Copies of this chain bind each other. A is one copy, B any other.
Amino acid sequence: MAGEQVRALVFDVFGTVVDWRSSVLREVEAAAARHGVTGDWGAFVDAWRYEGYLGGIAKVNRGEWPFMTTDEIHRRKLEELLPAYGLGHLPEAERADLNRAWHRLDPWPDSVPGLWRLKQRFVISTLSNGNVALLVAMAKRAGLPWDCVLGADVLGAFKPKPEAYRRGAELLGFAPGEVMLVAAHKQDLQAAMAAGLQAAFVPRPREAGPNVQPDLEPDPAFAVTARDFLELAAKLGA
């Protein structure tokens, strides 16, 4: 049985547990429609995610930006994107609300039932670059039954910095090898393994939208690969 020494499962969230792209796209399209503005809203969302969020984290990790929360990184990019897409006149209340679209991401269909099963056998926690407030609001709306919510603001570092993984295990009271990261992203899993954690790969083919095929090929070094959280539960005996 895979994962025999595992005591806690920690989860990447954006893309692994929740479908960020279609959830945020829906809210951006609704805001644009309210203001009668047309545009390539898929490109808006992708720029928000890839250039804005992932680019911002990379800047913090390289020391070019001070540490800030994911909510703050999202907001910085939003302020750039709105005028570029003809939405520069959005009032503050709508901007703040649109930034919180990232708090309202829908789970993949297997996420909630899978987490309930896994929770019976393991401590289940987020290990996300999101901030705690975002992750708690998301979990409450989506019904994600976390035992613990760990985000970059309490980990003190953004993944893939090794401190983020090690501090997560330490806060949960386990040795790194007793903790397994569940993620749809191979680089995240490889960084977790380099920090001493175990790795479970759950590819999410639809994460990047209809036109982009993510890298779905498992790495033989991963302890487990599963097509969703229910198969993961079965493979881990939960």
Contacts and interface: CB of A to CB of B under 8 A. Distances in A.
How many copies of this chain sit in the oligomeric assembly?
2
Nearest to A173: B133
A195 interface: no
Interface stretch (A18-26, A78-86, A145-153): A145-153
Contacts of A140: 123, 147
A90 interface: no
Nearest to A100: B173
A169 to B, nearest CB: 10
A60 interface: no
A199 to B, nearest CB: 22
A38 to B, nearest CB: 33
Contacts of A148: 132, 136, 149
A131 to B, nearest CB: 8
Contacts of A125: 136
Nearest to A137: B173
Interface of A: 71, 123, 125, 131-134, 136-137, 139-140, 147-149, 153-154, 171-174
- The 10 A-B pairs at the shortest CB distance, nearest first, are namely A133-B173, A154-B154, A132-B171, A136-B148, A148-B149, A136-B147, A133-B172, A140-B147, A123-B136, A153-B171
